[in-house]
């Protein structure tokens, strides 16, 4: 069972944090970064698996999501997200142990942007179905206009619970999830699309990430198509390896059991 605590971000925004107890002596640490519309509780099974494997696993709800403070699905500055990741990554470190970071969907985009931002790095990273591309030209143009004229305008997210997970089902949330956020604001949408473009430009300029990075993507993912990470192969990105799991959609961690 994870322990839950609320801490203050740099600007005072309350952030719900989650930590999974590890049995025995840990050999490393890992920070789990959740995706759009969800919260750290949806990754309880993920964190539990990491802890069972000997990792000190922690997570937190992004500002504007889950049980953290802030306007729902809204952020003034994209760097506020990166600041929070930097601080939670530092808080979860254990002296003498290697650190890892794991980001899912929007969390994968945030982690990718963080790794390329010049901030303190962990030793390794895992990106699960990272949202590195997407959005029609019309949606991108609309988000840009809304960011300038009505940044708090809300529009529906293009997903539901049947699209976000197949197996295993997140065990600590109801359906519908009372802590889920089903809408996105004009400001967040525009900043998200800008981050996608920035990450891809930096990856091209720098020929990959500065640390070893594993990209995991479900072959049946209808929200973040596998084509968006198709270029991730050892031959094209020396710092990254990519695995495509053809029978999975939006599970937060690849299953290790039969039929995975």
Residues 127-146: tens digit of each pLDDT: 998 999 888 899 999 999 99
Residues 11-20: tens digit of each pLDDT: 999 999 999 9
pLDDT at 255: 32
Q: What is the C-alpha to C-alpha distance for residues 195 and 255, in angstroms, rounded to an integer?
A: 29
Q: List domains and CATH numbers for the chain.
A: 3-245 (3.40.50.1820)
Q: What is the C-alpha to C-alpha distance for residues 151 and 252, in angstroms, rounded to an integer?
A: 30
- Mean pLDDT calculated for residue range 25-37: 96
In 3D, which of 218, 211, 255, 44 has the Cα closest to residue 130?
218
Pull the structure tokens for residue 203: 């990856």
Supply the mean pLDDT for the chain: 85
Residue 164 has pLDDT above 80, yes or no: no
Residue 253 has pLDDT above 80, yes or no: no
The alpha-helical segments, DSSP class H, found in 11-120 are 44-52, 78-92, 106-115
81-to-10, 104, 227 alpha-carbon distances in Å: 11, 14, 26
pLDDT band at 260 (very low <50, low <70, confident <90, very high): very low
């Amino acid at each position: 069972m994870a322990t839950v605590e609320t801490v203050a971000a740099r600007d005072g925004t309350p952030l719900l944090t989650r930590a999974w107890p590890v049995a025995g002596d840990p050999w490393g640490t890992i920070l789990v970064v959740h995706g759009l519309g969800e919260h750290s509780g949806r990754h309880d099974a993920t964190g539990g698996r990491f802890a069972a494997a000997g990792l000190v696993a922690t997570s937190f709800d992004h500002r504007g999501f889950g049980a953290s403070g802030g306007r729902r699905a809204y952020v003034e500055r994209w760097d506020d997200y990166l600041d929070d990741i930097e601080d939670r990554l530092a808080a979860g470190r254990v002296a003498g142990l290697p650190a890892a970071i794991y980001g899912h969907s929007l969390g994968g985009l945030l982690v990718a942007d963080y790794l390329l931002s010049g901030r303190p790095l962990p030793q390794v990273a895992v990106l699960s179905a990272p949202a590195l591309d997407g959005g029609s030209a019309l949606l991108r143009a609309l988000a840009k206009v809304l960011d300038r004229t009505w940044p708090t305008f809300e529009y529906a997210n293009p997903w539901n619970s049947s699209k976000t997970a197949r197996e295993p089902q997140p065990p600590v949330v109801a359906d519908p999830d009372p802590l889920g956020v089903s809408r996105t604001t004009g400001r967040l949408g525009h900043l998200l699309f800008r981050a996608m473009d920035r990450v891809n430009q930096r990856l091209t300029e720098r020929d990959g990430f500065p640390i070893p990075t594993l990209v995991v993507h479900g072959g049946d993912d209808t929200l973040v198509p596998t084509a968006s990470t198709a270029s991730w192969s050892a031959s094209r990105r020396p710092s990254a390896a990519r695995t495509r799991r053809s029978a999975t959609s939006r599970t937060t961690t690849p299953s290790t059991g039969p039929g995975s």
